[in-house]
Chains A and B, each alone.
Chain A
Amino acid sequence: MDLSAINPVLLIASLMVAATPLLLAAIGELVAEKAGVLNLGVEGMMIVGAISGFAISVETGSPLLGFCAAAVGGAVLSLLFVILTQYALANQVASGLALTLFGLGISSLMGQSYVGLKPPSTGEIHIPLLSDIPVIGPILFQHDPILYFGIALVAIVWALLKYSRVGLILRAVGENHDAAHALGYKVVRVRTLAILFGGACAGLGGAYISLIRVPQWTEGMTAGVGWIALALVVFASWKPWRALIGAYLFGGITVLQLNLQAAGVAIPVEYLAMSPYIITILVLVILSADKSSAPASLGRIFHASN
């Protein structure tokens, strides 16, 4: 065993990178579910975001444009979900699954000519002064902008949901769409916007994998992150900060266990490999002992005539 081989500064920095795609996708899905929509298409929207972002940043040479394109790509795919569930009143579970399958298929079609290319580097923001602090500087203040954006997004979503009128309306629609409708709120419009937001976030999360974490394009490269994001929203009891804790735990332990393996720690590899799942679930289950429950109208179809 040689724990000294692990550089804690590099470790924490890379666990933040590993957590970010999960965090972005989870926070988007959280908003959609708060509005009462269960969109199982996260994986599909992520992978479409991954290729949209990759393609545009390769073509334009600008990672920022790539991330914008990823958000648009994810949102456009989620528009399909909007049409199916909000206007055609289709079953949300089936539509979400279809969205994932469709997203995986169309992304590999879109990505045919992008295999093996190298995307332009996103670069890191070195915050003046702060990034020069030893240890803390490289951990906290030398990352790419999207990582900070992810954390800021959690704060914004939390504040909006909790303190703003918009947040109240969104939650009302998610808790009881008939009552919200009776009060004169546009249920379908609110849900449409929430789904589009979820799609854009998932797209950003996907592009974070293809542009920063890996960075390359490979078919099916999200490999199940979308599903973990979905589970995370439930385990986080639909609370933004808990989603952040969950994402950092999961991403963090995934990276940590790989590091422990490489350092030759004498814990059996099987336990290390399962640890991200077990510890994340345990911590979030303990946190959710306050019995916060799902939005009451989650997954239910709304039509004004009912």
Chain B
Amino acid sequence: MKLTKLLTGAAMALGLASAALADEKVKVGFVYVGPVGDGGWTFEHNEGRLAVEEEFGDKVETVYVENVAEGPDAERVMTQMALEGADLIFTTSFGYMDPTINVAKKFPKVMFEHATGYKRSDNVSTYSARFYEGRAVQGHIAGKMTKSNTVGYIASFPIPEVIRGINSAYIHAAKVNPDVQFKVVWVYTWFDPAKEADAAKALIEQGADVILQHTDSTAPQAAAQEAGGVITFGQASDMSQYAPLPRVSSIIDNWAPYYVARTKAVMDGTWESVDTWDGISTGMVKIGEISDAVPADVKAEALAMAKAIGAGEYHPFTGPLKKQDGSDWLGDGETADDGTLAGMNFYVEGVEGDIPQ
């Protein structure tokens, strides 16, 4: 009798102790829109998650769910994570914006971080990277390199982030090559390799010899490689497995420092709702190595532009710039403010076609 009591007591003590230990661990959840092996967007977010694990070791536990559809299902996944004791949840796609806000309301003690959105609350931060800075560099190279003067652009959804990228790339391509024409195809998906490849093929068949993509997989790179004579740029991740051709450079999203800093803030109890929008200057946006397929002078110009943007000497949206309908947008030397950029819903002058509403 005594022995069993003793054992139960010991077991209980052990249970309590381990529960207390478990409580000290900060649990960080990640919601992904694609698989971690997409080689692009989700892959880089997962690299950030791994960096958090490496940084804090035993003091942190991370969980993730991949292939979560944007919309109501995302709410279910986030709720489940919060119920399982997550202290901090990163939701890493634009379409998770409303679900994040809704779930955050129900769990005021859980901190949320939504990528690329604009809705915040006491326990919801937003963070994004100034991808358009990298797009400017890509546009410059594209304008210099295209021989058919036709640049194909695989766009995902008509949201400000994507439109910003198209505008930024177009402005800098047209600057060095006034004859350049952009063909934009909307695929309405972030991740569907077959469709992305089809879109790349359609653009190549219609004469594009440069393909820019705003989707997550490496499929357009493979399609361009198959077609030959076409250059591409890595999107979200370096995609260096397709270098030196077709991939001649890339935009790399480097989330790791941000994820580490925010996890640290939760551990220290200093977390508060913020809006972060960093670019080349802090290293959140990196320009992947420009391959030897690019002539040395073009490479030097591109690197100089990236450096100027990083140093704050040059803003990719610097006037004079007009909107597509011909109305004035920015005067000579004027730069776009973040508010306009964050909600950008118009093309700049010269881009053809309409933005789907």
Chain A residues at the B interface, C-beta cutoff of 8 Å: 5-7, 10-11, 14, 18, 21, 104, 108, 111-112, 115-118, 209, 213-216, 218-225, 254-255, 258-259, 261-264, 268-270, 273
Contact = CB atoms under 8 A, between A and B. Distances in A.
A216 B191 CA distance: 14
A108 B191 contact: no
Contacts of A261: 184-186, 202
Contact of B37 (A5, A111, A225): A111
B205 A223 contact: no
A259 B206 contact: yes
A263 B152 CA distance: 11
Number of chain B interface residues as a range: 35 or more
B4 to A, nearest CB: 41
Given A213-B197, A264-B352, A223 B222 contact: no
B207 interface: yes
Given A214-B222, A258-B185, A219 B205 contact: no
A214 B356 contact: no
Residue picked from A6, A223, A255, A263, most chain B C-beta under 10 Å: A223
Interface in B171-230: 183-189, 191-195, 197-199, 201-203, 205-208, 217-219, 221-223, 225-226
A222 to B, nearest CB: 8
17 contacts: A6-B206, A7-B206, A14-B198, A117-B241, A214-B219, A216-B218, A218-B217, A218-B219, A219-B35, A220-B35, A220-B38, A220-B67, A223-B195, A254-B195, A255-B198, A261-B202, A262-B183
A262 B203 contact: yes
Nearest to B220: A214
A255 B35 CA distance: 25
Closest 7 CB pairs of A and B: A116-B241, A219-B37, A219-B35, A269-B356, A216-B222, A223-B192, A258-B202
B205 A7 contact: yes
A296 to B, nearest CB: 34
B39 A115 contact: yes
Interface in B264-320: none
B191 A223 contact: yes
B353 interface: yes
Interface in B231-270: 241-242
Contacts of A14: 198, 201-202, 205
B356 A268 contact: yes
B185 A262 contact: yes
Interface string B315-357: 0000000000000000000000000000000000000111010
B205 A225 contact: no
Interface of B: 34-39, 67, 152, 158, 183-189, 191-195, 197-199, 201-203, 205-208, 217-219, 221-223, 225-226, 241-242, 352-354, 356
Contact of A221 (B207, B217, B353): B217
Given A6-B205, A223-B194, 17 more contacts: A6-B206, A14-B201, A14-B202, A111-B37, A116-B241, A214-B197, A214-B219, A214-B222, A218-B193, A218-B219, A220-B37, A223-B195, A225-B194, A262-B203, A262-B208, A269-B356, A273-B187
Contacts of A10: 205
Contacts of A5: 206-207
A122 to B, nearest CB: 11
Contacts of B67: 104, 220
Contacts of A220: 34-35, 37-38, 67, 191
A186 to B, nearest CB: 38
B198 A219 contact: no
A111 B158 CA distance: 32
A258 B194 contact: no
A5 to B, nearest CB: 4
Nearest to B242: A116
Contacts of B219: 214, 216, 218, 221
Contacts of B35: 108, 218-220
Residue picked from B35, B188, B223, B242, most chain A C-beta under 10 Å: B35
Contacts of A21: 194
A15 to B, nearest CB: 9
A264 B193 contact: no
B202 A262 contact: yes
Given A118-B222, A261-B185, A269-B356, A218 B205 contact: no
Nearest to B40: A218
A212 B354 CA distance: 33
Residue picked from B185, B206, B225, B354, most chain A C-beta under 10 Å: B206
Given A214-B197, A219-B38, A264 B205 contact: no
Contacts of B356: 268-270
B98 to A, nearest CB: 20
A81 B10 CA distance: 47
Contacts of B37: 108, 111-112, 115, 218-220
Contact of A219 (B36, B197, B225): B36
B218 A116 contact: yes
A262 B152 contact: yes
A273 B185 CA distance: 10
Nearest to B188: A273
Contacts of A263: 183, 206
Nearest to A208: B194
Contact of B226 (A115, A215, A219, A222): A215
